[in-house]
Amino acid sequence: MATKSQFALTGKSRDSYLELVLAFPLASIKSEKHLAVAQEVMDRLLAKGKLDRGEETYLDALSDLVASYEDEHHAIAPASDADMLRHLMETKGVTQAQLSQDTSLPKSSISEVLAGRKPFSRQMIRKLADYFKIHVSILAGNI
């Protein structure tokens, strides 16, 4: 017995969605080859520009399947504290000396983090998050 859903595609949106499903069915990604084809389908849809509701729905579902496979098979390790700080400094265009002056953090502590000899302390995380205007959880990922 079919269950009626509150979510439904109708008309052209339904047709475009079903056409995409027939061309490349929505199923768990099982291999690198399957992943490559899924990415090609996504690239074609993204290159199209404006998508109708059916195409958007299909792209969202396929993106979720690709992300799930990549999370399991191509996990990306979190950035080190040194890499994170280096990136934030480069993005804002500040030197160690300027960062130390603006945050009242000792220049030696900043140097030790950048050299990978010292992790962020809780005090550093709070000051750096305020300074770079980011959420503390971004810097606390390795704690």
Alpha helices (H) in 1-121, listed in sequence order: 11-23, 32-48, 53-73, 81-92, 96-103, 107-114
Domain of 94 in residue numbering reads as: 81-139
Counted domains in the chain: 2
Per-residue confidence (pLDDT) for residue 142, from 0 to 100: 63
Supply 29's token pair: 């990604």
In a domain? residue 49: yes
Domain boundary among 33, 54, 73: 73
Please tell me whether residues 101 and 62 are part of one structural domain. Answer: no
Confidence at 50, pLDDT banded by 50, 70, 90: very high
Please tell me whether residues 68 and 88 are part of one structural domain. Answer: no
**Residue 103 pLDDT greater than 80, yes or no:** yes
Per-residue confidence (pLDDT) for residue 141, from 0 to 100: 74
Please tell me whether residues 18 and 64 are part of one structural domain. Answer: yes
In a domain? residue 3: no
Confidence at 1, pLDDT banded by 50, 70, 90: low
Per-residue confidence (pLDDT) for residue 8, from 0 to 100: 78
In a domain? residue 50: yes
Counting residues of the chain whose pLDDT is more than 90, the rounded percentage is 80
Q: At what angle do helices 32-48 and 11-23 cross, to 10 degrees?
A: 150
* Residue of 91, 80, 76 whose CA lies nearest to 114: 80
Please tell me whether residues 18 and 58 are part of one structural domain. Answer: yes
Confidence at 127, pLDDT banded by 50, 70, 90: very high
CATH code for the domain of 111: 1.10.260.40
In a domain? residue 135: yes
Per-residue confidence (pLDDT) for residue 143, from 0 to 100: 62
Angstrom distance (rounded) from CA 106 to CA 109: 5
Per-residue confidence (pLDDT) for residue 6, from 0 to 100: 62
- When comparing pLDDT for 90 and 137, which is higher? 90
Please tell me whether residues 66 and 18 are part of one structural domain. Answer: yes
Per-residue confidence (pLDDT) for residue 10, from 0 to 100: 84
Confidence at 11, pLDDT banded by 50, 70, 90: confident
Domain boundary among 43, 73, 103: 73
In a domain? residue 5: no
Per-residue confidence (pLDDT) for residue 9, from 0 to 100: 82
What is the rounded average pLDDT of the residues 127-136? 94
Please tell me whether residues 134 and 109 are part of one structural domain. Answer: yes
